[in-house]
Amino acid sequence: MRHAAFFAGFRGRGIHGVVPQTGPGCSESAGPGADQKERQIMKPFLKSIGPMLIWMLIPASMGHAFDPALHFEEGNRLYREGRYEQALQAYKSILESGLESGFVYYNIGNCHYKLNRIGPAILYYERAARWMPNDPDLRANLALANLAVVDRIEPVRPFFLLRFSRWMMRLLTVEEWIGLTTVLYLIFMTFTILRIVTRKPRARRILSRFGAVSAILFLLAGLVLLARLRSDARFAEAVIMRPEVVVMSGPGEETTEIFTLHEGTKVSLDSRSGEWVEIILADGKVGWVRAEVLEEI
């Protein structure tokens, strides 16, 4: 199991800014200055907002001195110089050491994008999104990378309550939901204990009301956390990593070809049968592909 490494205050940025208005649903031309705007978005730069701080949980069994900050800064320097392949190796060395960070995944995605590897870029952006789902730069870069994907899949619009529940589950990371649930539980217990030791009737009534509210919030947060954990365990997601993949009606070459997918398309994983895996698209289509053509997020 990897151990978390959190990088704060400094991170390399490759593509950054507002996503250009091109692609499905947009006009062929974005108007005067559109090309200039896109070039400005694609211009690489690093944003430093202060010294880099690192909090690490490192197992004692590692035994050797490994400085993730040094490798992270080296990756940023190489990226600034336009040496994206070398920067990629510097960032990956952090993951290979057993540490993990949304910022590292984010910068690896930037390197792959600069090297015109759309599938790996989307894969690492999606992995970064598991750590920092509300990061605006990550969202913009992921949307920009998705513009290069050949497949245009219109997702099925679910019922309102289902959309709201999914939004709630993805509002925070699993770790953040765990932290929020723990805090709400401690608040509830605090109000409960104070109510028990307080003798004044008016204070007890007030504490009872606050305790009831905190209990409801605790239960809601706990339910969302359980739903998120169940969803993550049941519905794994992956990204197509080959330029073109033929999707079959069943697990085997002798079955019928039903459609094709291209590099960068995100799918949900369902059943497995030997070297084959059943995939589900956002529009509800189902088919089978070899496991080797995709990589799990």
Q: How confident is the model at residue 161 (pLDDT cuts 50, 70, 90)?
A: confident
CA–CA distances in Å: residue 77 to residues 43, 52, 83 = 16, 14, 9
**Alpha carbon separation from 53 to 13, 72, 73, 240 (Å, rounded):** 17, 11, 12, 35
Question: Span 25-44, mean pLDDT?
Answer: 33
Query: How far, rounded to the nearest angstrom, does the alpha carbon of residue 31 sit from its chain's CA centroid?
Result: 33
Model pLDDT, residue 23: 32
Contact 190, 198 (CB under 8 A): no
Q: Are 255 and 278 in contact (CB under 8 A)?
A: no
Q: Which helix (H) or strand (E) holds 208?
A: helix 201-234
Q: Tens digit of pLDDT for each residue in 207-230?
A: 999 999 999 999 999 999 988 888
Residues in the chain: 297
* 221/133 Cα distance (integer angstroms): 18
The fourth-level CATH superfamily of domain 3-146 is Tetratricopeptide repeat domain (1.25.40.10)
Task: For the chain, give every domain's residue range.
Answer: 3-146, 160-234, 237-296
CATH dotted code for 237-296:
2.30.30.40
Q: Give, for 160, the enclosing helix (H) or strand (E).
A: helix 160-171
Query: Is the model more confident about 144 or about 27?
Result: 144
Q: Percent of the chain, pLDDT > 90?
A: 54
The Cα–Cα gap between 108 and 128 comes to 9
CA angle 12, 130, 51 (to 5 degrees): 30
Instruction: Answer whether residue 267 shows pLDDT above 90.
Output: yes
